[in-house]
Structure 1
Amino acid sequence: MNDPVEDLEIQLLLEALYQRYHYDFRDYAPASIKRRLRQLKEKLGFTNFSAMQESLLHDTRILPHVLAYLTVQVSEMFRDPGYFRAIREKVVPVLRTYPSLKVWIAGCSAGEEVHSLAILFREEGLEQRTMFYATDINQAALKAASDGIYGLDRIKLFTENHQKSGGKSSLSNYYSAAYGKASFDRTLRDRVVFSDHSLVTDAVFGEMHLISCRNVLIYFDRTLQDRTLKLFRESLVRKGFLGLGAKESLRFSSEADFFLDFDKNERIYQKRDA
C-alpha cells in the first residue's frame, strides 16, 4: 500500500541528492527506487526518509552508501552468453571493416562486461585497433572495474559463460589466482578509459561503433529511457550497433524508427544509415 507521506519524503530525498551532489535519480522507476531506499534505510537504522535526507545533506560519508544502493552492481563476465556470441559472430565481421573502433560500455558496474569485451576483441584480433570507454556514476564501481579483481568463487560461472559465448581460448589465460581472488591481466585494460558519466544528465559521448548498455534501462522510467536512447543514437556512427539487456527493447521507444533489429533475440540493434 502506498504511503503518500513516504512518497513525498522519497521525492524530497532524491531532490536533495540532486541539488547537493548532482546525482539525478528523480526519473528512475519509482518502484525500484523505493525498494532499494527502504533496504538502505533499514540497514543504516533511520526511522524515516526525512532523517536520511538530513544526514545526506550534512554528512558526505553517507553518499557512497546511497549510491551503492541506487546503482545496481550485479553482473558477471559474459552474462547471457548468446549476446556475446552474437557480437562475436555477427557484429565483429562488420566491425572488421573499420580501421579503428570505439566501444562504449555504459553503466559498466564493476567491470565484468568491460573485461568480457576486451577478451572477445583480443580473441577476434580487434583489440589493438579499439578504444573502450567504460562509464558509470558510481566511483567505487569504476575503481573496482579498473582493478579487475574478482572473487575466485565466481570464476567457474565466468568460465562457463566464456565457453558458451564461443570463446577461442581458456579464460584462465587472462587471470592469475591468489588468496581467493582472481586478478585479470592488466593489459586487458590498457585500451580502456574509465570515466564518470551520467546517462541522466551528461551529453553525447564521442562517436561510437558499438554501445553496450545492458540491464540499466529497466531501472529508468519511459521518459528517461527515451532520453538515454536518443543519447546513444547521437553517440553512434552511421550503422553503429547498440546492445541492450535481455529484458530491454526499443519496441515502444520514440527512438525505435532510427534503428534496425540486427539480432532481435539478443537485443542488438543497428543505427539506420539515414
Structure 2
Amino acid sequence: MADTLDDIEIQLLLEALYHRYHYDFRHYARASIKRRLLQARVQLGFGSISAMQSAVLHDEGMLPRLLNYLTVQVSEMFRDPAYYLALREKVIPHLKTYPSLKVWIAGCSNGEELYSLSILFREEGLADKTMFYATDINPTALKKAQVGVYPLDDIRLFTENHQKAGGRSSLSDYYTADYGRAVFDKSLRKQVVFSDHSLVTDAAFGEMHLISCRNVLIYFDRPLQDRALGLFRESLARRGFLGLGSKESLRFSAHAHAFADFCREQRIYQRSEP
C-alpha cells in the first residue's frame, strides 16, 4: 500500500528534526506520531505538515511548541499505586542493604514520578543516601519538573494514589498550597540531577540501582525499544532493578535474558546476569 501524502510529509519532517536539531523521532511508533503531528498541525494553525516543517526549520522558537506535541506529558503522582507499593514492600528492603543509591527516572516528564519516588524514599529512610537522576528530552517538561508546581485540582487524586501506595504520612506534609497551586518542598529535589537525555541517541547513564521508565517504551517501535532496554541493561548495577509501565514488557526483547522477573504483575525486573 502506497504511503499517503501525510505519511511522506511526516517522514520528511522527522528527518528534518533529526538533521536540524538532533531530535530523533524516526523510530517512534508511527501511528502515535502521526496522530500527534496532525493534532499539532491543526492547533498550531498550519495548512499542511510541510508548512509546519518549514516553520520549525526556520524558526527555533517553534521547536519547543512542536516538542510539546511529540513528547507525551501526561502523568500523575503515584500513578498505578500498586507499582509503588511493590517498590516499597519488595524492592526497598534490597536497596536498604546498599551504603548509597542511584535512581534514574528515564522520561521524567513534568516530574510527578520523580516526586513520588523522592517521597517514597524519604518515608522509607533512604532519602539521605540516594541520588536521583531525572531525565527527559523535552526542556519545557524538565523545567516544570525542576519547579515542582502542580494544579491544586490534581492533589486529591495524588493523595489517594499516595495512600494506596502505602504512604506513611500525609501528602500535604510535602507541599504548600498557593493560589490554586501545590508547590512541592524543594528539599524533595535536594539530591536530584535534572538532565536532557535521549533514549534514542544518548549513551548509558551511570551505574544505577533502580531505573524507573514507565509508559515511555509504548511510544517506540520494536528496534528502538531494544535500544532503550540495552541502555538500561548497561546502566544497571549488578542485581539492580528496572520498573516499566503496566503495558510494557521485556518478553520479546533481545535483552530479556539479562533480567529476571522480580514482580511480574507490576513489571519490575532484576538484572540477573553477572
**TM-score for the superposition, normalised by structure 1:** 0.99
Partner residue, 2:62 = 62
1:92 alignment partner AA: I
Mean CA deviation greater in 161-170 or 41-50: 41-50
Distance 1:234 1:97 in 2: 22
Q: Which residue pairs with 1:45 in the alignment?
A: 45
User: In the alignment, what sits opposite 1:238?
Assistant: 238
Q: Which residue in the other structure is 2:142 paired with?
A: 142
What is the CA–CA distance in structure 1 between the aligned matches of 2:53 and 2:116, rounded to whole Å? 38
Shift of 1:222: 0.1
Tell me which residue corresponds to 1:132: 132
Alignment correspondent of 2:253: 253
Name the residue aligned to 1:74.
74
Partner residue, 2:208: 208
Distance in 1 (CA, whole Å) between partners of 2:183 and 2:211 is 26
CA distance in 1, matches of 2:50, 2:273: 50
- 1:156 Cα deviation from its structure 2 partner: 0.1
> In 2, Cα distance between the equivalents of 1:59 and 1:140?
17
Shift of 1:61: 1.4
Q: 2:91: which partner in 1?
A: 91
Deviations 1:159-216 (A, max 9, x none): 0000000000000000000100000000000001000000000001000000000000
| Pairing 1:16–2:55 present | no
Q: Supply the distance in 2 between the matched residues of 1:164 and 1:102 (Cα, whole angstroms).
A: 25
Code of the residue aligned with 2:99 in structure 1: it is P
Distance 1:64 1:2, change over 3 A: farther
Which secondary structure does the structure 2 equivalent of 1:97 belong to?
coil
Matches within 5 A, 1:72-221: 72-221=72-221
Point out where structure 1 has 5 or more consecutive residues left out of the alignment.
none
Matched, 1:28 2:35: no
Name the count of aligned residue pairs: 274
Counterpart residue identity of residue 200, structure 2: V
Aligned sequence identity (%): 71
CA distance in 2, matches of 1:258, 1:164: 31
CA RMSD of aligned residues (A): 1.0
Structure 1 residue 103: deviation in Å? 0.0
- Matches of 2:108 and 2:198, distance apart in 1: 12
Query: Which amino acid in 2 is paired with 1:153?
Result: D
Q: Deviation above 4 Å: which 4+ runs of structure 1?
A: none
Deviation at 1:273, TM superposition (A): 3.7
Matched residue type, 1:72: V
Deviation at 1:2?
7.7
How far does residue 4 in structure 1 lie from its aligned partner after superposition?
A: 2.1
Change (3 A) 1:140 1:2: farther
Structure 2: 5+ residue runs without aligned partners? none
Q: Alpha carbons of 1:161 and 1:15: their partners in 2 closer, same or farther (altered >3 Å)?
A: same
Q: 1:85 to 1:8 in 2, by over 3 A?
A: same
